[in-house]
Amino acid sequence: MIEYEDLLDHCEDCDVEYCESFNLAPKCTVDTGHSWSSEGEGGCSDNPGVWSLGGTTIHTSEHCELCGLCRKVTSYGSQRNPGQCDSVTYETDDGQPVEEV
C-alpha cells in the first residue's frame, strides 16, 4: 500500500473536495520527506523546470533528490476558467505514472 502526504499548497480558487486533478504525493522513502529540485529538468537556464503555456499558465517539473519521484504541476494563474483547478501528477524516475489508491 502506498502512503500519501497531506495535501498542501492546493489552488486557493478551487474546492479540494471536488478537484480531481490535484493528486497527493506518495510519501518519500526517506524519513525527512521530499526534497524537490528542478535542476536538470529542462526549461531555461535562469528558471529550470518551468515552461510558459501562454497567458498566466505555467508548467513546472521537479524531482525529489532523495527518492527520484517526479512532480509535474500545471498552474493556470489568474486567467483560469471558473472552477478550473491546477493539476499535479507524479511519476516514478522511469516515467511510470503514480496513481492514488
pLDDT in tens, 41-99: 988 888 899 999 988 999 999 999 999 999 998 888 888 777 777 888 888 877 777 76
Q: Strand, helix or coil at 82?
A: coil
In the predicted structure, residue 26 carries a pLDDT above the cut 60: yes
Closest CA to 60 of 78, 79, 33, 39: 39
pLDDT reported for residue 23:
64
CA atoms of 70 and 72, how far apart (whole Å): 7
Position 43: which residue type?
G
What is the torsion angle, in degrees rounded to the nearest 10, for the CA atoms of residue 52, residue 42, residue 10 and residue 13?
A: 0
Grid cell in block for residue 33 = 520527506
Other beta carbons less than 10 A from residue 66's beta carbon: 16
